[in-house]
Structure 1
């Protein structure tokens, strides 16, 4: 064989090899495309599940944060109310003392000069006592010539009066008190008809 004859088969072998390689690459690409088509639905399904799981976790996290915030707010309100109204029982026990000091002043003989220092002492004691409980939110309810309010007044009697408009407080028989806006004791009053 001549070298020319050898070149032809070498070229043919090279061409055949290139063709075979090209066919193998095309086959691999086709296999990869088929595999990709098979994997794509599964990957898409898994990605969708992942997105759904992330959305669920995000939702659960937001709900948990909201619940924690609500609990925090409720706790703050409870603590605030506890501070405001912790003195309620104590203040209720002090009200009869105030009433008794006021009654003592009502019946005191102001014409007797020897009793004047004692009367002044009771007045000062009552004033300082009312100021002290006032610092803690206790307020007096018991003005006259104001409209009757069933939330803070207790009508003991109704009386005819030309000096007062109907449904006005004419007389306070016993003062009422509130603690930080909450009624401790209603004022016992006489109301005009």
Structure 2
């Protein structure tokens, strides 16, 4: 069989001018593309992330916008978690608020009973002692749940944040805006004002 030379014209169009069979390059390129696609599909998550980092420029606007959205979403999620935690803590801390508020009238009545014992005879002395002991036991019990009495004494300064003025009096022994009388005791529950102390305020 005669050897094909460089000057020979391709037979029936099967060869190109370089002497290579037509269509071979296209087939090779197609096979390479298929192999490349199979390689991409079989990439692991770490490899995909690495490819993304190589392909996306950290300085481009698209990357910056996506990063901003991601950071805002993380911040919003963290804020929601903190708010829910605070609300749960508040709920646990003040769970007994309504119950303790309902018990305050009992303390008020015990205080009222002890306030009118000055003119009682000796026969009632044991009764007064019993009432006073009951009041102390009751106070100790509610203190264990965070209940504390608001400071309000005759001659003390009126504080609108913890005192409620129910009237005014003129007492020459006191200065202006001082407490002249405690009408009803006030209470804190774990540092939060549960009920202000009701007082009469002196107006000189």
TM-score (normalised: structure 2): 0.62
| CA distance, structure 1, for counterparts of residue 58 and residue 141 of structure 2 | 67
Q: Equivalent residue for 2:145?
A: 136
Report how far residue 181 of structure 1 moved.
3.1
Bigger Rg over Cα: 1
Q: After superposition, what is the alpha-carbon deviation per residue over 1:26-70, rounded to whole angstroms, capped at 9, x for unaligned?
A: xxxxxxxxxxxxxxxxxxxx8569944433332222112111111
Aligned counterpart for 1:159 among listed residues 159, 169, 185: 169
Q: Equivalent residue for 1:63?
A: 72
Q: Equivalent residue for 1:104?
A: 113
Aligned counterpart for 2:95 among listed residues 86, 94, 101: 86
Q: After superposition, what is the alpha-carbon deviation per residue over 1:154-176, rounded to whole angstroms, capped at 9, x for unaligned?
A: 21221122221110111101111
TM-score (normalised: structure 1): 0.66
4+ residue runs over 6 A deviation: none
The number of aligned residues is: 147
Report how far residue 143 of structure 1 moved.
2.4
Report how far residue 90 of structure 1 moved.
0.8
Gap regions ≥5 residues in structure 2 = 1-54
Q: Equivalent residue for 1:189?
A: 199
Summarize the Cα distance change of 1:104–1:52 in structure 2 as closer, same or farther, 3 Å threshold.
Answer: same
Gap regions ≥5 residues in structure 1 = 1-45
Q: Equivalent residue for 1:16?
A: none
CA RMSD of superposed structures (Å)? 2.4
| CA distance, structure 2, for counterparts of residue 47 and residue 66 of structure 1 | 24
Structure number with the higher helix fraction is 1
| CA distance, structure 2, for counterparts of residue 145 and residue 91 of structure 1 | 29
| CA distance, structure 2, for counterparts of residue 188 and residue 178 of structure 1 | 14
| CA distance, structure 1, for counterparts of residue 147 and residue 182 of structure 2 | 18
